[in-house]
Amino acid sequence: MTDTNQPDTNQPDPDQPETNQPETNQPDPDQRAGAEQGLQAGATGQGVTAARGFRAAGVTAGLKTSGKPDVALVVNEGPEAAVAAVFTSNRAQAHPVIWSRQVVGDGVARAVVLNSGGANCFTGPFGFQTTHLTAEAVADSLGIGAGDVVVCSTGLIGVGDQTFRDNVLRGVGLASAALSPTGGHDAATAIMTTDTKPKQSVVTEDGWTVGGMAKGAGMLAPGLATMLVVITTDALLPADELDQALRAATRVTFDRVDSDGCMSTNDTVVLMSSGASGTTPEVGDFQEALTAVCADLAKQLQQDAEGASHDIAIEVVGAASEDDAVVVGRSVARNNLFKAAVFGNDPNWGRVLAAIGTTDADFDPYAVDVSMNGVRVCHAGAPDEPSDSVDLTGRETHVLIDLGVGPHAATILTNDLTHDYVHENSAYSS
């Protein structure tokens, strides 16, 4: 099942919406804590192969000049092949996104092939043909139909020439030969671009498992943040239930990572079920486990953001609605003056108030409280504790904004704006 994420009407740019899905089956904090007890973050040899019924591989095909792994393959060996996916809501979409939307439309997929080292976006009809040929190559190697192969690419926009095609197809052959029930770590490594480490997460419950891998270090903003994510489960669930669970999970996790306000053309999050456990969990239990995996991967994306020296959690409470809490938090997360201040270890709460004042959320700016790392520096729109009592020298930074008008809350994850971020994104070019 698939659809674009629904737009957030408070977004400043129509090409940068957030999913705004119904809040059905959201786990409460106590439920999520239960799932997190079984969480394995970054476990070597786990990730997408932690669940039964899956094999994976990551190989070097020559797409990266560094010679590092650059093609990954994840295969669902069943007995079931249910799938759900969500994609970037950017109007500019890469050929693999266009192809994969069609693939998951019937709720069935057997494999996901991913490459780093080139986005295959804005590469003309030739690029779409490359995506089709890639799916056909996977299908031929596995004895399945090309229409059951999800294709994902990541890297520079505009990269997708004949050399790119040849290398991807070579990688499909190599990956098919290297498939292993313990190949999750290799697959997670092969999808990295500017990432500094592979990102994996696993939750194991009574008789069934959810595991996943993600890539993403820059262009982190909704919808979905900028990433490729593959999540697998051996729970026995139909495609429509996977779709409902995935949308609910991404809404409160990946869609609230807003590191630099820039949205990719290639964002894809795929959830596949093999049914190999033979167990059908309660919807709420599965939602809890899936959300825990997504939240863990989202946090790993934030912590590996390009050049960042602070991981900032902007928690908004006392909002009239959850949407208000999100838009207020996002206004701060995208404020370069605030992000630069945090980089300089300056608790400049005035920049927080200036940022939230640009929104149409329901609150009185002169009744807002702001705390930074546990110190309330602003009370009712006026100075409170001295700013020099706030310690921002550590990496973890918490900003609490109390709007004081309602019972709703939301947290946005972002990073500071650093010299290294500017350098990396000026050097990483075509």
SS3 of residue 202 by DSSP: strand
CA–CA distance, 351 with 349 (Å, rounded to integer): 5
Amino acid at residue number 274: S
Among 245, 250, 182, 218, which residue's Cα sits nearest to residue 46? Answer: 182
Catalytic residue among 226, 265, 268, 291: 226
In angstroms, what CA-CA distances link 200 with 41, 45, 249, 328, 425? Answer: 6, 9, 16, 30, 25
Conformational region of residue 72, where left means phi above 0, alpha means psi within -120 to 50, and beta covers everything else: beta
Instruction: Provide DSSP, 280-319.
Output: ---HHHHHHHHHHHHHHHHHHHHHT-TT-S-EEEEEEEEE
| Residue 244 to residues 123, 171, 247, 269, 379, Cα–Cα distance (Å) | 33, 33, 5, 13, 40
Q: Angle at Cα 200 formed by Cα 160 and Cα 270, nearest 5°?
A: 55
As to burial, measured by CB atoms within 10 angstroms (0-12 exposed, 13-18 middle, 19+ buried), residue 430 is exposed
Q: E strands, 216-352, where?
A: 228-233, 268-273, 311-319
Of 174, 201, 251, 272, nearest to 39 by C-alpha is 201
226 is catalytic: yes
Query: Active-site residue numbers?
Result: 226
